[in-house]
Amino acid sequence: MNKPLVFSLLVAAVAVVAAVPLFTVRAADDAMPTVGQDAPTFTLPSQDGTPISLEQYRGKWVVLYFYPKDMTTGCTIEAHKFQDALPQFDAKNAVILGVSVDTPDSHKEFCTKEGLTFRLLADPEHKVVDAYGSLGHFGPMTIANRNTFLIDPHGKIVKEWTKVDPSVHSEEVQAAIAELKK
């Protein structure tokens, strides 16, 4: 094969690969629930294997945050920001629940390594991630997209965030709770 043809084929292949998005677009059948809707209920295992249900937190504000992967940079930053603000969330009658497609064992290792004390929920079958329209793909990996749902004490979604900035998100959620409690 001659060099110009090989080069042309290589350029065409790179162009095709560059045109393929790293994150897939959500399908219509796994759309996000919207503000004002009842939050989809669930029960998932936490880092210690204990089943955690949304229903057990009726009467509290629930910060349900989805994140891509244990022990990755952005997810660690986001988890530490929530951990550092736990006293403020407690004072607002709010709980933090993190969800990813990782296993309970992965969550346990992440919590131990990073000193996290709130609940991380394992959804390797993607049931809750799907119910909240937060399933994503990064190259060959299936992950949870970085989305958060604020659920009021009556079980309604009152605020949602997509593609959050992990370094400031905890403060955004606290401000939203304070505003909604007025």
pLDDT for 63-110, tens place per residue? 999 999 999 998 999 999 999 999 999 999 999 999 999 999 999 999
Residue 156, token pair as written in the block: 């309604």
The yes-or-no verdict on residue 46 having pLDDT over 90 is yes
Specify the pTM.
0.83
- Three-class DSSP category at 44: strand
Task: Judge contact between 127 and 42, C-beta under 8 A.
Answer: yes
Q: Is 75 a catalytic residue?
A: yes
Catalytically annotated residue among 62, 64, 75, 116: 75
CA-nearest of 180, 167, 177, 176 to 82 is: 167
